[in-house]
């Protein structure tokens, strides 16, 4: 597969979860500098060179959609969000198939500190190489977002529970691990303490 067949890469924002461990409501709607966490994720995606972006919503979908108002993206509704992240991945894969994407970058709605340059590094690695999965690493530990070529879409659609694509990453032959200078690839927000800590650490970088 040459690079011209690798041009249509879309982004799927996984934003359907219940925020079970976040103490005061929906972590995706928590704010950093006055802006919702999930909106910061979506803005990074929309400002990148991704061909298209879709947000998969579930829990409190109306409020989350409002937080994304005005951005150039589509929505998919996942009624089965309580069954785990894999159900949202499946919705993303269905959208990717229908849109005829060559690959999909899966972004987590609770990871607002991933830098735009990191997204571009992953896209560039995919578009100019032969890898079918592209994973960011920071200090030799892998993080998110992760890109999957369309050859993995069917396998992703068959994953269950909250495992996501980890097993596919571990068994695929053509996985590129890209060392990035971005601790944000590890900073997912589960608690209010996480949000405060990561915001402080980012400001100190």
- Residue 188: which of 12, 22, 16, 11 has the closest Cα? 22
Rg (CA), the chain: 16
Distances in Å between the Cα of 144 and the Cα atoms of 105, 119, 136, 147, 185 are: 9, 10, 6, 9, 5
What is d(CA 130, CA 112) in angstroms, rounded to the nearest whole number?
28
CATH number at residue 154: 3.90.550.10
Q: How many domains does the chain have?
A: 1
Domain of residue 9 covers 3-204
Quick: pLDDT tens for 104-115: 999 999 999 999
**Burial (CB count within 10 angstroms: exposed 0-12, middle 13-18, buried 19+), residue 99:** middle
pLDDT tens for each residue of the chain, 205 residues long:
444 578 899 999 999 998 877 887 899 999 999 999 999 999 999 999 999 999 999 999 999 999 999 999 999 999 999 998 899 999 999 999 999 999 999 999 999 999 999 999 999 999 999 999 999 999 999 999 999 999 999 999 998 766 667 889 988 889 999 999 999 999 999 988 998 899 888 887 7
């Amino acid at each position: 597969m040459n690079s011209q067949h690798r041009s249509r890469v879309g982004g799927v924002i996984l934003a359907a979860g219940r925020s079970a461990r976040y103490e005061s409501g929906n972590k995706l709607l928590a704010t950093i500098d006055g802006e919702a966490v999930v909106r910061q994720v979506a803005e990074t995606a929309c400002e990148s060179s991704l061909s298209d972006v879709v947000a998969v919503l579930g829990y409190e979908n109306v409020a989350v959609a409002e937080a994304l108002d005005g951005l150039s993206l589509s929505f998919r509704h996942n009624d089965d969000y309580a069954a785990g992240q894999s159900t949202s991945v499946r919705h993303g894969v269905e959208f990717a198939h229908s849109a005829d994407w060559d690959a999909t970058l899966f972004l987590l709605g609770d990871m607002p500190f991933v830098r735009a340059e990191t997204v571009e590094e992953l896209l560039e690695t995919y578009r100019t190489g032969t890898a079918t999965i592209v994973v960011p690493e920071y200090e030799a530990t892998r993080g998110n977002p992760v890109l999957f070529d369309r050859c993995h879409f069917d396998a992703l659609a068959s994953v269950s529970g909250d495992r996501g694509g980890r097993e596919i990453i571990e068994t695929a032959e053509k996985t590129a691990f890209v060392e990035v200078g971005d601790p944000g690839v590890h900073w997912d927000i589960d608690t209010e303490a996480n949000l405060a800590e990561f915001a402080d650490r980012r400001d100190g970088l």
